[in-house]
Each structure stands twice: as C-alpha cells, then as structure tokens.
Amino acid sequence: MLHEESLEGRTILVTGGAGGIGSPLVSLLRNRGAQVTTLGRGDMPGRHIRADLSTQAGIAHAAEQARLLAPQMLFNIAGRQYFGPVEGQRPADLLGDYLVNLVAPVTLTQAVLPTMKQRGRGHIVNVGSVFGSINFAHFAAYSSAKAGLKGFSQALRREVRGTGITVCHVAPRAVRTGFNGPLVQRFAELTGIAQDEPIQVARRILAAAQAGKAETVIGWPEAFFTRLNALFPGLVDRALAGNDAKAASLFSHIAAPTGGATITPIGEKTHAR
C-alpha cells in the first residue's frame, strides 16, 4: 500500500500519458513529486518514450526502454477502440486494437517485472474498462481485449503473491474525452450512458493504486452490472437488447466491410481518450 507522500521521487511509467485520462493522472503524479516518464507515439514535454504500441516493432522498442527505465510503478492506460459491426473492422485495425489494448500492457509488464522482483516491491496498474466485464455489442474487439486485460491482471496478481508487487485493475465506465468520437457520442445520447470527467477518473485510478486495490469498477450501476453479468449473463443480454438495437440502427445504412467508426488510441494527440 502506498501513501501520498511516498510518491516523492518514485520512478513511474505511464502509457497514454497525453490522453484524456493519462494527462490529468500525470499531473497528479508530478504534483506529488513523482518522476514520471510518459510513453506514446506522439511527442510530449518532459521525460518521454516515443513508441507506437499498435505495431509489434513499436511494442518491442517500448519494452526495451521500459526495461532500461526500471520504473517502480507502471500505469498501462493507452488503448484504442472500434465501434461498429465486427465484420466492418479492417484486419489491420483489428490487429492494432489487440496490440494496443492487450499485447502492449502484457509485454511492458514482462519488461519491468524482473527489476521489481529484485527490489521486492513494485506496482502494476492496468486500466481496463467496464466493457471488459460487460461485453457490449458493436465493441467486440475492444470488449474482448479489455476482458483479456482483466484476466491477465487477475492471473498476474496470483502469480506475484508474496513478492511485494501489487497488481491493480481499474475499470472506468465511459469518460468524457476525445476517445469517444461523434458516432459513440450519438450512441451515448440514444442510450443515456453516463460519462465521467477525466480528472475524477484519474483521481480514482491513483487512489486505487495507492490503496493497492485488486479490482476497482468506476460508476454505478455499472459496478452492479459487472457482478450480475458474471453470474447471470442471460439477464444482462435481455437488459441490453434495447441498447444493442439502438446501436445497430446507427449502422443500418453502412455496408460491410467499410462500416464502423475507428476511434484510435488513448493517450496520443491524434488518438486521445
């Protein structure tokens, strides 16, 4: 468990640090004295690792730089999202989604774990999504990748038990950022989906990390529905049927495979959440 004052001088790596959630989180960390390095494919002021997490070469470069940095804390925030019928997503974009949302955080975690184990302490914070527990129609790749990140976090937590390393998984609901393009915004309006302010989400992520909480779901009734979906998915199927039909109506005029709306990665100026 961490306390606020213990962030002073800590070496922290944040992926997606330029995005709607990452940017306020980086400010919170730096204001508390942490030595923060951001990671993304754009340029950023301060300590920054430039790497494209949507490619295998970019992930390999990022992992090597993370290994050399040997941070005491790793925040995996970068991500990207496609909204639309699954058959409408281009293969290259589909691969990129899984690379950014799942392969990159797992690979970066692999890179920093050995030094954390040598120190006998460390903190891995994986920022997933409520969609990783309540798998929404028309967000198939995103939901399944975030479900994988949740599963990885749980498995890793059990694997590093007793090493002094904490693994936190935080699942925000929708956040009011550029990550949600016009079509997603229209879906939110049609279905009444709540959207949180980025600074509020950043504070919750930091609080979960400092408390060493294994699982944090941000939002009500989303926290309730994640548990309900795990126990009675059929009930949630029926509860979401109306929203699924509203989403489908947004794409009724678009023919596959060019349909859908690719909302690109969290944490980069042209791909911001």
pLDDT band at 253 (very low <50, low <70, confident <90, very high): low
Of the listed ranges 53-67, 133-147, 156-170, 220-234, the least confidently predicted one is 220-234
Range 4-263 has CATH code 3.40.50.720: yes
Q: Could you identify the residue written with the tokens 């490619």?
A: 55
Domain boundary assignment for the chain: 4-263
* Closest alpha carbon to 103 in 150, 140, 56: 56
Tell me which amino acid residue 166 is: T
pTM exceeding the 0.85 threshold for the entire prediction: yes
Which H or E element spans position 82? strand 81-83
Residue 232 CA to residue 38 CA, distance in Å, equals 40
Of the listed ranges 17-21, 141-145, 206-210, the least confidently predicted one is 17-21
**Greater model confidence, 137 or 202:** 202
Q: Is the pLDDT of residue 200 over 70?
A: yes
Q: Is the pLDDT of residue 256 over 60?
A: no
* Closest alpha carbon to 99 in 51, 155, 135, 139: 51
Q: H-type helices in 45-138, by residue range?
A: 56-69, 91-98, 104-119
User: Do residues 187 and 193 touch, judged by C-beta distance below 8 A?
Assistant: yes
Tell me which amino acid residue 228 is: L
Distance of CA 257 to the CA centre of its chain: 26
Residue 67 CA to residue 77 CA, distance in Å, equals 18
pLDDT tens per residue, range 86-138: 999 999 999 999 999 999 999 999 999 999 999 999 999 999 999 998 888 89
Of the listed ranges 12-16, 69-73, 196-200, 225-229, the least confidently predicted one is 225-229
pLDDT tens per residue, range 143-199: 999 999 999 999 999 999 999 999 999 999 888 877 667 777 777 776 777 778 999
> Which residues are CB-contacts of 50 (< 8 A; sequence separation ≥ 6)?
40, 41, 42, 43
CA distances from 121 to 64, 116, 192, 212, 219 (A): 20, 6, 42, 12, 30
Of the listed ranges 54-58, 90-94, 111-115, 256-260, the least confidently predicted one is 256-260
